[in-house]
Amino acid sequence: MKDNITIHDSFRYELIRKIAEGGMGVVYEARQYGARDFTKTVAIKLIKEGFLDQPMFLKNFIGEAKLVANLIHTNIVQTYHLGEANGKCYIAMEYIHGMNLDQFLQLIDANGRSLPPELAVFIASRISRGLAYAHQKASSDGTPLDLVHRDVSLKNVMVAYEGDVKITDFGIAKAGGYLIDREGEVAAGKADFMSPEQAGFEKTDARSDLFSTGIVLACLLLGRNPFTGENAADSRQNILKKPIPDFHKESTIITDELNGILQKLLQRNITKRYGSAESLLHDLEYHIYRHGYGPTNETLGKFVRSLKGNIAPYPSCESL
């Protein structure tokens, strides 16, 4: 029998620069220091100053850390540690040397290029792999979490210079009591990427994330979001009522088969949509691999690295 050993240690982080900022949280690139000159680059997520005194946000922040700590998958950003310093809770996470998909599309446009359709489908397939894992996740006693991300969007999917694709930000996820759930009372998520259930203040399940994945795929293929309105309310109405485009007519790079996948993803009737991320993954991978060799992390990474220019860094920050 192995001895039980308790290790007491402290974590020290130096915040280098702000890399992302949302409605309630902010993420920094940071350097973690350990014993004997050990260092590691990580990402640190904090609650924004204006929300520190609101118990609901703190509870959800802690709930997010506990939830994602056990989501260990190559297509999900990993969580390492939940800590507290200077009266502030923080989450230490995997640092992705790359950019989110919104920045990725901006950089492609700035280079006067377009994303090859097979790479767009490859990215969507990696999102589907991460969602398939998350949707099937159970608690330690085997009880299904019935997890729904509820915020699948361009800004919440990272692509690394090495070609890895990772889902991030489970801050408004619905999952087995980890986070406060006010579904039906508020419309959680980014209006341009909501499912009809979210836009209509209805209950969601895993199929809601698939509708959002369909919008992400449409953005990657078209270079724009077909549901974006002048404001959030307009975008929600477009999600609910705007005719779903014939994507083959929108762009010649979208084949009839790929158009069929998009049409099935974007069914407003949830029973006609893909039933699971696994079934979506099958169709996406069949589309790009059925003739043999297809895109990989390496081919995506090569494309990312071929783009000239970098995402402008935020100013340097302080220590934590």
- Listed by start position, the domains of the chain span 12-94, 98-305
For residue 47, what pLDDT is reported?
Answer: 86
Does domain 12-94 correspond to CATH entry 3.30.200.20?
A: yes
User: Are both 12-94 and 98-305 of the same fold?
Assistant: no
Residue holding tokens 């449409």? Answer: 218
Mean pLDDT, the chain cut into blocks of 10 residues (320 residues total): 67 90 86 92 88 79 88 95 86 95 96 96 98 93 90 96 95 74 66 94 94 98 95 95 94 95 97 97 96 94 88 47
DSSP state of 320: -
Residue 99 in 3-state DSSP? Answer: strand
> Of 9, 102, 151, 192, which residue is the catalytic one?
151
| C-alpha R_g of the chain | 20
For residue 25, what pLDDT is reported?
Answer: 84
Q: Does this model's pTM top 0.75?
A: yes
For residue 315, what pLDDT is reported?
Answer: 46
Let me know how long the chain is: 320
Q: How far apart are CA 195 and CA 214, in angstroms?
A: 10
Domain 98-305: give its CATH superfamily: Transferase(Phosphotransferase) domain 1 (1.10.510.10)
- Can you list the positions of beta strands (E) in the chain? 12-21, 25-33, 39-47, 79-85, 88-94, 98-100, 157-160, 165-167
For residue 256, what pLDDT is reported?
Answer: 95
Q: How far apart are CA 136 and CA 103, in angstroms?
A: 30
User: At residue 299, what are phi and psi to the nearest 5 degrees?
Assistant: -70, -35
CA nearest to 262, candidates 228, 213, 300: 213
The yes-or-no answer on residue 151 being catalytic is yes
Q: How far apart are CA 60 and CA 193, in angstroms?
A: 21
For residue 183, what pLDDT is reported?
Answer: 60
